[in-house]
A and B are shown apart, each in its own frame.
Chain A
Amino acid sequence: MTIEARFALQQGEFRLDVDLTLPGEGVTVIYGTSGAGKSTLLRCVAGLERAAQGALSVNGAEWQREGLFLPVHRRPLGVVFQEASLFPHLSGAGNLRYGLQRTPAHERRIAWDEVVQLLDIEPLLARYPQTYSGGERQRIALARALLASPQLLLLDEPLAALDDARKAEILPFLEQLRARFAVPMLYVTHSLREVARLADYLVLLEAGRVVAQGPLQSVLSRLDLPLAAAEDAGVVIEAEVAEHDTQWHLSRLIFSGGSLWVARCAEPVGSRLRCRVLARDVSLARERNEQSSIVNLLQADVVELAPTDSPAHVLVRLDANGTSLLARITCQSQARLGVQPGERFWLQIKSVALLR
């Protein structure tokens, strides 16, 4: 099951030219700076750019090709825009019903009660959008899109207009959507934090072209991309909670490369979590150093090196039994320790951020 999208669109000076084959499930994040064409790409998929040439098929259904252009209202999709675009003359419930009523009964797969409960919007239904906070608006917008039982959910920077507290309020809902409803999502953002937290598959867009695409971990650990040179370059690790240490208030997570201790988390043993390890929080040592405050020590082999945005630093990609990790070290250390591909080192990981 795949989403195949090929588009060419000229808008003044800007040209979008993409050819993508994306997984037909999970969350595909389209990442890029502003002006890279992310939103334009999403509008092409939605059918909102009539001038776009190309082809689009979503899990076998053809939405566009030469001689065929399914108009927006005939495409079974849902869109959530950056500014919640709720209908101001309809109540919360009226907004939710708008798409639901226009979805033929046999296509309805997503139940009202389930959506209302999941997004916790019961108290909002009788009120009008003018009285909502930013976060409430986005939850209603999400619910409205879901109730049209979309085959594809498009999210255009849905959190960009919210402050950090509101973002933190919405993110768990988005994760639950991914878990509860089997709706593939295309998620546009310029926030690496949202990428790390939500993406299964990542597409990097730059000036209207695809620079890289692939499963999240493999794209994040590539050294030849602008992502790696950035100050907050890092990898995302999928790990499982192995044990809780009640005495020291720590939890142990295991992944292919070993185990990591983090501050005690609430998730029960056996649950899967994502955590992010930034390259600047990883240092390298020849010997296992027990005389240090750093608790997370892993062994890994150097795979390759690449320059960073600073002449003083070099970025090292290492392989810890199948899991890629990045370390940002000074060039001086690299020379002193002889960091070369094939060499094995101890990684000292200063900080692991749980993504939730």
Chain B
Amino acid sequence: MLSAEDLTALWVTLQLAAVSTVLLLLLATPLAWWLSQTAARGRVLVEALVTLPLVLPPTVLGFYLLLLLGPEGAVGGTLERIGVGHLAFSFSGLVVGSMVYSLPFVVQPLQNAFAATGARLFDVAATLRASPLDRFLTIALPLARRGYLTAAVLAFAHTLGEFGVIIMLGGNIPGETRVASIAIYNHVESLDYGAAHALALTLVVLSLSLLTLVYAVNRRARAVGVPG
């Protein structure tokens, strides 16, 4: 079955997916909220930028991230100077890469969920003495909970299958940056189809279970008429 190395790769993958999903949900919330409420002209450009990772080849994303996060890059260089160290060839670098890669999968469901609530309920909450932050926490967030579930599962599952960005960012260090998809690629390269199969099938089952969960929850929510 799965070798110790493969298990490590799987573990790195799950950690990467979990960490980047949590961070992404936190960071995408204000962005999605702003996009759902604003009429500003810049909104169109921001929406296009958010969607860009969906259409770009992952190698293009990975290439620019490598330049940006590496020791000579704007971000990596700065981190290097303040003593943190650059982000290429590191787990943190992969987290940043995954977040960029999965951004549209989180922002869009959240933005749609916020927009679906409509301005009326926020107005009503304001007349009931709720401050803007209070309104966001007690009305917007609970009503967007299905959007959050969809966003979380999509980001998580999408990160499980990430390959191009990771390979560009230097993802082949066992226990640090070697994720399952890279391990599968290595097995195929060395013609070890059995090992590739075991790991590939694990990913298929994992992803399928996650997606089934989302559809089941959404379906149940619709059936009992719980909104959001």
Interface residues, chain A, CB within 8 Å of chain B? 46, 48, 71-79, 81, 83, 85, 87-89, 98-99, 102-103, 130, 144-145, 148, 154
Q: Contact between B227 and A144 (Cβ–Cβ < 8 Å)?
A: no
CA A154 – CA B127 in complex, angstroms? 10
Bitwise interface map of B from 114 to 143 toward A, beta carbon under 8 Å scored 1, else 0:
000000110111111111101100110011
Residue of A nearest to B121 (CB): A85
CB distance from B184 to the nearest CB of A (A): 42
For B124, B125, B127, the residue with the greatest tally of chain A CB atoms inside 10 Å of its CB is: B127
Q: Does B225 contact A (CB under 8 A)?
A: yes
Does A73 lie within 8 Å of B131, measured CB to CB?
A: yes
A83, B120: Cα distance in complex, Å? 9
Give the A-B pair count, Cβ closer than 8 A: 67
Residues from chain A with Cβ under 8 Å of B138 in the complex: 98
Interface contact B130-A78, CB-CB below 8 Å: no
B73 within 8 A of A: no
User: CB within 8 A of A81: which of B120, B226, B228?
Assistant: B120
Interface membership of chain B positions 100-124, coded 1 if the CB is closer than 8 angstroms to chain A and 0 otherwise: 0000000000000000000011011
Docked complex Cα distance between A81 and B126 (Å): 13
Q: How large is the interface on B (under 10, 10 to 19, 20 to 34, 35 or more residues)?
A: 20 to 34
Query: Which residues B130-163 have CB closer than 8 A to chain A?
Result: 130-132, 134-135, 138-139, 142-143
Are A145 and B127 in contact, with the CB atoms below 8 A?
yes
A73-B130, A102-B130, A130-B225 known; A89 vs B125 contact (CB < 8 Å): no
Chain B nearest CB from A90 CB (Å) reads 9
| Contact residues of B between 46 and 84, Cβ < 8 Å to A | none
Q: Is B125 within 8 A of A98, CB to CB?
A: yes
Distance (whole angstroms) from the CB of A142 to the closest CB of chain B = 13
Q: Quick one: closest B residue to A131, CB to CB?
A: B225
CA distance A8 to B93 in the complex (A): 55
A77: chain B residues at CB < 8 Å are 127
Bound-complex Cα distance A89 to B225 (A): 10
Cα–Cα, bound, A325→B123 (Å): 42
Question: Looking at the complex, which one of A46, A85, A88 makes contact with B143 (CB distance below 8 Å)?
Answer: A88
A72-B126 contact, Cβ under 8 Å, with A83-B120, A130-B225: yes
Contact B227 A99 (CB under 8 A): no
CB within 8 Å for A89 and B128 given contacts A48-B123, A83-B120: no
Contact across chains for A89 and B124 when beta carbons are under 8 A apart:
no
How far, in Å, is A167 (CB) from chain B's closest CB?
A: 21
Q: Are A87 and B120 in contact (CB under 8 A)?
A: no
- By beta carbon, the residue of chain B nearest A84 is B124
Q: Is the CB of A73 within 8 A of B228?
A: no
> How far, in Å, is A243 (CB) from chain B's closest CB?
46
Given the complex, which residues of A lie within 8 Å of B132, measured CB to CB? 73
15 A-B residue pairings within 8 Å (CB atoms): A72-B127, A73-B128, A73-B132, A73-B134, A74-B129, A76-B129, A81-B120, A85-B124, A87-B124, A89-B227, A98-B128, A98-B138, A102-B128, A148-B128, A148-B129
A88 x B228 contact (CB < 8 A): yes
Give the contacting residue for B227; candidates A72, A78, A85, A88; CB below 8 A.
A88
Taking the nearest CB of chain B, how far is it from the CB of A42, in angstroms? Answer: 11
Q: Given the complex, which residues of B lie within 8 Å of A48, measured CB to CB?
A: 123, 126-127
Structural contact, A79 and B131, CB atoms closer than 8 A: no
Contacts of B124 in A (CB 8 A): 79, 81, 85, 87
Q: Which residues from B are CB-within-8-Å of A46?
A: 123, 127
Return chain A residues, CB-CB under 8 Å to B121. 85, 87
* Cβ–Cβ contact A73 & B120, under 8 A: no
Which residues of B have CB within 8 Å of A83? 120
Q: Given A79-B124, A81-B124, A102–B129 Cβ distance below 8 Å? A: yes
A144: chain B residues at CB < 8 Å are 128
Q: Which residues of A contact B225 (CB under 8 A)?
A: 130
Instruction: Given contact pairs A89-B226, A98-B125, enumerate 8 new A-B contacts (beta carbons under 8 Å).
Output: A46-B123, A72-B123, A73-B134, A73-B135, A77-B127, A85-B123, A85-B124, A144-B128
Chain A residues closer than 8 Å to B125, beta-carbon distance = 87, 98
A148 to chain B: which residues have CB within 8 Å?
127-129
CA distance A99 to B129 in the complex (A): 7
Which residues of A sit under 8 angstroms from B226, Cβ to Cβ? Answer: 88-89
B128 to chain A: closest residue by CB: A99
Contact of A89 among B126, B129, B228 (CB under 8 A): B228
Q: Which of B126, B134, B139, B228 has the most CB atoms of chain A within a 10 A radius of its CB?
A: B126
